[in-house]
Amino acid sequence: MVRVCVLFAAGTNCDRETVCAFKQAGAAAEKVHINQLKTRERFLSDYQILVIPGGFSYGDYISSGKILANELTHNLKQDLVRFHANGKLVLGICNGFQVLIKAGLLPAFDWLFETQTVTLDTNDSGRFEDRWVHLRTNPSCIFTRGLDEICELPVAHAEGKFIPKDQKILNRLKEHNQIVFRYVTGDGEPADYPDNPNGSVDRIAGICDPSGRILGMMPHPERFVRTQQHPRWHRERLTKPAGIVIFENAVNYIKENL
């Protein structure tokens, strides 16, 4: 059975939904507090997938995800390096995406825990954005294989504007095929607000590392794993929910490769 560690800390609020989503995908998922890994009550090596879910870890003091990122960097750095070297998967959702970026686990051009080169800043609207969005997907990542080219997922964040340090960093993301999700309109065209809910540079909603095994994304896949969760499920013919495809891809990859 594929074992999933859904990491949580003070302020995390999407951990239970993420556990349920992975269980629906056929995995054995459990919530694990950051302190349980720090004190060795739990061991990261016992799991094949690590998920950092959405929420407001540590109240987003300093900046979103920064404190939990520091926890990973100072207490679990070697555990995470070994975890990745062993071919395992990491997923960061919303606040988890912010954590991965601020810990240097993404974009990870050359190594893990590299100097931060991108960030997620305050939405251009200056407010919390809670809406469904359309995404253009890139199958370069383990998590997105077989996903519809244009899919829908909900977002819920106040700091989701993706900003690279400079044009050189953006070019590297493109050259290495690491841009996994972009905000688009329902017709698949480049999106402005509100279809791009935060003003992200190049409309970026999610990126992966060069291996395709670490994914960070602002939209919430755990909130669309059943057709009935879609606001128009009763009057539209919907394809398989994008969220459950993402979780099943992760579980199936581990079954086939580890």
Is 71 tagged catalytic? Answer: no
Cβ of 135: how many Cβ atoms within 10 Å? 28
Angle at CA 65, nearest 5°, toward 12 and 121? 125
Domains in the chain, CATH or no CATH each: 3-257 (3.40.50.880)
Is 94 tagged catalytic? Answer: yes
Question: Closest Cα partner for 251 from 60, 95, 82, 88?
Answer: 88
With 0.75 as the threshold, say if the pTM is over it: yes
Catalytic residue, from 5, 14, 94, 141: name it.
94
Catalytic residue, from 71, 152, 159, 222: name it.
222
Residue written as token pair 């994304």: 217
Q: Which two tokens stand for residue 122?
A: 């305050």
Is 41 tagged catalytic? Answer: no
Q: Which two tokens stand for residue 112?
A: 């893990």
Catalytic residue, from 5, 220, 230, 248: name it.
220
Task: Provide the residue-wise pLDDT of the chain in tens; the chain has 258 residues.
Answer: 999 999 999 999 999 999 999 999 999 999 999 999 999 999 999 999 999 999 999 999 888 999 999 999 999 999 999 999 999 999 999 999 999 999 999 999 999 999 999 999 999 999 999 999 999 999 999 999 999 999 999 999 999 999 999 999 999 999 999 999 999 999 999 999 999 999 999 999 999 999 999 999 999 999 999 999 999 999 988 889 999 999 999 999 999 999
